[in-house]
Amino acid sequence: MVRVQIGMLGPLEIRLDDGGSIEVPGTRLRALLIALALEPGRAIPKATLVDWIWGEQPPSDAANALQALVSRLRRVLPDGSLDVQAGGYRLTVRSDAVDAVRFEQLLDQARGGADAQQAELLREALELWRGALMQDIGVQDSAAADAVITRLEGLRLAATEDLYEAEIRLGRGAELVAELTELVARHPVRERLVAALMRALVAAGRGAEALVVYQRAREALADTLGVDPAPELSALHVALLRGEIGAQDNERKTNLRAELTSFVGKNGDIAAVRELIAAHRLTTVTGPGGSGKTRLALETARTLLDDLPDGAWLVELASVGAGGDVAQSAIAALGLRDALLGAAPNAEPMDRLIAALRERETLLILDNCEHVIDAAAAFAHRLLGECQRLRILVTSREPLGITGEALWQVVPLALPAEDADPGEIESSSAVQLLRDRAGAVHKDLAADARTLSTMARVCRALDGIPLAIELAAARLRTMSLDQLANRLDDRFRLLTGGSRTAIPQHRTLRAVVDWSWELLTDAERMVLRRLSVFSGGASLAAAEQVCADTGGPEGQGDGKSTAVERWEVLELLTALTEKSLLLYVADSAPPVGSPGEPRYRMLDTIKQYARERLVASGESDLVRREHLSYVTELAATAEPHLRRADQLEWLATLEAEHDNIAVAMRGALAAGDAAGA
C-alpha cells in the first residue's frame, strides 16, 4: 500500500509520509481522486466514476475521457497508487489514510461504548473536519457527489449531538454553553442540540435561560416545520418547570470555569492587574487579538475570590450582536432569578441588575467588548455609578474610554534574543508556552540546542502571540517542528486548528485578525493596509505622506472610495494604536540634542495580514510609489546636513529609516524603476 494521507473533510489535502504534499490540479481530477478515496482498496466501476465526475452531462466518449483523467492522476500520485481492475479502477491506500473513511470508523467504534470512551472517540472523529466537505471539487449536477456530501454532513451533525450528550452526562455541561449556543443558532430545529443546550445551561446554574431556549425552539419548529416539540424535549421542559432538574446552588460565588491548560508567562501581569483592581473600580485589559487578555482576567479573578464576599462573575460578550443588551447578558451570567432581583420582573434589565448588585461586593468581568464598545462603556458607567461596592474588569482590544478607567496593556510573550544560548531560549516565556502546548500532542519532542533554536524561530515569527503559538503547537500533531517553522510565511493558511470550544474568532489565526479588521472604519482600514509597505516602522511624517488619500478609488478589496486628508492621518494612527493594531514606540536613545521621533510599528502577523489586504485593494503600486517618493525626498533632504553640525541627528534619522530605504530600493528594482532605485 502507498503511504499517503488523503484529507477531504475540508480542502483537499494529500500528504506524504516524509512530510511533503501533493497538489492535484483541476476540479475533475480532484473529483476522480475523491471518488476513488471514498472506498480505498476497492475497485470502483467506471460508470460510477463517470457519474461522479460529469453527473448529468457526461462526454460523448466517456470511457476515453475517464481513461485520460486516470492517466493524469497516476502521474500526480506516487508510483503504484492506482490499479486497473476489471471494469474499474482501484486506489491502493490504507482505509485509515483517508480522513472521511477514518471518520466513519471512529463513529462505529464509539457506538455502545462508555460515556468517557464515546466522548474521546467522537471528539477525535470531529477533529478530522477542517472545513466544508469537498469544497474544492467543483462538479456540477453530480447526484453521487451530492449524496455523499449529504450523508457525511448528516453523520457529522449526529456525531456532534452524540458528543455533547456524552459530555453532559460526564458533568461537563457548563463548559459547553457557548459552543452549544452557537450551534443552536445555526440549527434551531435540531431538537437534540436544543436539549443539550438546555441541560448545559442548567448545569451552569442558568435554568431561566434554558426555559427561554425551549420557547425559541418551539417557535422555530412551528414556523419552519409546522410541528410541536418532540415528546422528549417537552418532557425536559416540564421537568425544568417543576424544578426536578437543575436546583440552583445559592452559595455559588462564581461562574468561572476550571482551565484545562497551565498559565504560562504572565504571572507578573496578574500582580499588576490585582493592584489596579484594588485601586480602581474599573480596569480594562487591552491588547491585540490572541494576546491572552481573557485568560489573564480570569486568572486574576481567581486569585481574588477569597477577598470578594459576593464572588466574581464572567459576562461573555463575544456572541452578543452589535445591538445586544449587555445588561441582559450580565443577568444571565449571574444566574439571577426574578425573585432575587429586587425589582418587578417587567422592569428594564438594567434596572433589575442594579437592584440585584446595589449592595453586593463583587467583581464583574466583561469579556470581549470591542464590538459593543459604546454599549459596554454606557453599561459600566451607569452600573458603577449606582453600585458603589462593585468593581468591573474589562477585556477589549481598545479601552472603554470613560473617566476613572485604569488600563493594563497586555504585550506578547517575551522572546529570546537572536544570539540567545539554549538556557536563555528555554527560559523565555514564549518558548515555555510552545513546549507546554506541544507536549500535549508530541510526547517525544526533544530539548536539544537545535530544537530549542527552531522553537525560538517559530515564536519570533509569531510575535510571541499566545494564541498563535498554541495554534502552531496543535499543528505538531501532523507535521514536524522543522516543517512548521519553514511554513510560517503562510501562517494564515497553516494555523487553522484551533479549539472547537473556542469562540469563532479564536479558532484560526486569520479569524483573530479578521475580527479586528471588520471593526475598523474604511479610513482606518486604508491607513492600516498602506502602513504595511513600511519596514521597521513609520514616523508620523512618513505615514502622513504614504497613507493620505484625497479621494482616489479605494480599490477592489472594499469596493468603495475613501478620502483621508493628510491632517487626519494622526487621528487614524491614534485610533489604530488604541485598537491594538499598531505599536507606538518612542526613540529610546536619540542623539544628543535631538528629541528623537516616535514610530508606529506593526506586529509581523498584523503586517502580513495588512499586506494581503493592500494587494487585494489594488493599491500596491500606488503605495509603493508614494513610499519610494518619501524615501527619495528624505535622502535628498538629509544629504547636505551630513556635512553640518547636525550631522549626528540626520545620521540617526537615516539609520532609523534603513529598512525602509532598503525596501524602497528593492521595490523600485522589482518594478523596473532604475531611476528611483
Give the residues across from 409 on adjacent strands.
286
Query: Alpha-carbon distance 389 to 359, whole Å?
Result: 7
Residue 449 has phi, psi (to 5 degrees) of -60, -40
By the 8 A CB rule, do 484 and 491 touch? no
Rounded Cα distance between 569 and 572, Å, is 5
Contact 505, 367 (CB under 8 A): no
* Assigned C-alpha cell, 201: 445551561
Q: What is the structure's pLDDT at 498? A: 65
206: its cell numbers? 442558568
Q: What angle do the packed helices 27-37 and 62-76 form, to 10 degrees?
A: 80
Query: Three cell numbers at 75?
Result: 502521474
Which segments in the chain show pLDDT lower than 50? Answer: 247-250, 337-344, 552-560, 588-595
> Cα separations (Å) of 34 from 22, 65, 80, 152, 268?
14, 17, 17, 13, 52
Identify residue 143 by its one-letter amino acid code: A
Res 531: pLDDT: 93
Per-position DSSP letters for 177-195, written without gaps between them: HHHHHHHHHH-TT-HHHHH
Distance CA 22, CA 75 (A): 11
pLDDT at 550: 61
Sheet (strand 44-45) strand order:
44-45, 88-91, 82-85
Residue 76: name the closest of 139, 160, 6 by CA: 6
Residue 466: which of 311, 601, 627, 296 has the closest Cα? 296
Distance of CA 605 to the CA centre of its chain: 13
What span, in angstroms and rounded, lies between the C-alpha atoms of 677 and 117?
65
Dist CA 538 CA 599 (whole Å): 5
Cβ atoms within 10 A of the Cβ of 665, count?
15
Q: How is residue 372 annotated by DSSP?
A: G
What's the grid cell of residue 600? 508606529
- Dihedral angle sign, alpha carbons of residues 644, 647, 650, 654: positive
User: 81-95 burial, b if ≥16 CB within 10 A, otherwise e?
Assistant: bbeeeeebbbbbbee
Instruction: Identify whether the C-beta of residue 363 lies closer than 8 Å to the C-beta of residue 392.
Output: yes
- Tell me, what's the pLDDT at 610? 93
- φ and ψ at residue 495, rounded to 5 degrees: -95, 80
Predicted TM-score (pTM) of this structure: 0.60
The count of other CB atoms within 10 Å of the CB of residue 67 is 14
Between CA 582 and CA 499 the distance in angstroms is 27
For residue 554, the model assigns a pLDDT of 42
